[in-house]
Amino acid sequence: MPDADDVRRTALSLPDTTEKIAWSMPTFRVAGKMFATLPEEETSIAVRCPKEERDELVLAEPGKFWIADHEAGFAWVRVRLAALEDGDELRDILADSWRQAAPPRLLDAYPDLGLPKAD
């Protein structure tokens, strides 16, 4: 099961990512734009997720994903670290969120980062 140290290490391995404390919690930003937070007791992460997709995630895997009340109006979803299969799944989730916040110059420089792997 990934933990807070895995989140930090994985997030900071993504291009142009920095960590900043905001709202008394670690946040991770790409080119200054937030893409992940490590809230509360560091047992979950909040990541960017289009609203139309997050509802499907929550319905499909409610033990893994949920929407915090104060984030309901925003394109964010929570992920329970204990429900993740491994570090690869954590990296996929963080990289997908990174793509949603990254500027075009980084998306152009890393075109495959965060995209689903072809089967």
Residues 80-94 have a mean pLDDT of 96
pLDDT at position 1 is 84
pTM above 0.75, yes or no: yes
pLDDT for residue 20 is more than 60:
yes
Going by pLDDT thresholds of 50, 70 and 90, the confidence category of residue 88 is: very high
User: Which percentage of the chain shows pLDDT scores above 70?
Assistant: 97
Q: Distance of CA 54 to CAs 22, 47, 49, 61, 72, Å?
A: 24, 10, 6, 10, 10
pLDDT at position 12 is 98
Averaged pLDDT of the chain: 93
